[in-house]
Structure 1
Amino acid sequence: MASEHTGDVGHQTESHASWDPELVPGPCGRTRRPEPGCPVEVALAAVSGRWATLVLRELMGGPRGFTELRGLLPEVSAKVLSERLRALEERGLVAVERRRGFPVRTEYTLTGAGLALRPLLVQLYATGEALQRLTGALPAERDQSAH
């Protein structure tokens, strides 16, 4: 039984006769398990985390201050927003500029890498809509009586 597993060790980029060249255009995607260097995994990691896609969406409109982001995303707590912004900064997707004065003003801007996520976010939205139509899984209706 041990010999069954030895063939997979160290051979994460084995050739596969049926690789779809659109889905797997290069050797980095020809893996048998999720690998950190796989472009798909890199893209998914960039937008992972609760609220990350919404923070990125708001920053696509240009530089924003912390208070402005809180106003655009009123349901996210200040703590969670700070955590998301810090994580996006660590991923190299957001640049932070702290301006002198009282109070200190902080401005968040997407980097080139952050801006490169725009097509992914657009496609994720379109794909989500298509899945909702195809599966009949419509988004939960908000309480209309509050409006």
Structure 2
Amino acid sequence: MRHAASEHSADVGHQRETHTSWDTELVPGPQGRTHRPEADCPVEVALTAVSGRWTTLLLRELMGGPRGFTELRKLLPELSAKVLSDRLRALQERGLVEVERQRAFPVRTRYALTGAGQALRPLLVELYATGEALLRLAGHGGGSPPAP
């Protein structure tokens, strides 16, 4: 049994919403003019680059230059070795971090940002500033997180 209210014309599924007033600052190019998240949307690319718990802190530490695994563990002592390994691997797969193996005994491995990784600096700076503003607007004051 079909319900009359649920019947649509055959072309409803093919209709497209059209925008005539894209905010050119938010959507400066055609790749951002999507109606759902797309892998090649510049915003989605940037969000994927910094996604994952600990990723932004790890990127922050690597902005200071190449670092070894042990050095990263000391800089982020609450980050487990397993999660650090996972994050470094993911950043490598995204093309944001490269591994430098120095021939010596013992072999030393250092992690460094690629050009693409370095390009994330303005995004991290802006995310921090935006987070501070949101905390301030929410009434949490000087950039500190709210008390539990």
Is this a same-fold pair by TM over 0.5?
yes
Coordinate RMSD, CA, aligned: 1.7
Task: Give the % identical residues.
Answer: 74
Q: Which residue of 2 aligns with 1:110?
A: 113
Q: Which residue of 1 aligns with 2:3?
A: none
- Among 66, 78, 82, which residue is 1:79 paired with? 82
Q: Which residue of 1 aligns with 2:23?
A: 20
TM-score of the aligned structures, taking structure 2 as reference length = 0.86
- Among 43, 49, 65, which residue is 1:40 paired with? 43
Q: Which residue of 1 aligns with 2:133?
A: 130
Gapped runs of 5+ residues in structure 1? 9-13, 143-147
Count residues with an aligned counterpart: 137
- Among 8, 11, 14, which residue is 1:3 paired with? 11
SS at match of 1:89: helix
SS at match of 2:11: helix
TM-score of the aligned structures, taking structure 1 as reference length = 0.87
Larger Rg: 2
Q: CA deviation at 1:4?
A: 2.2
Separation of aligned partners in 1, 2:67 and 2:105: 18
Separation of aligned partners in 1, 2:88 and 2:146: 27
Q: CA deviation at 1:140?
A: 4.1
Separation of aligned partners in 2, 1:56 and 1:69: 11
Gapped runs of 5+ residues in structure 2? 1-7
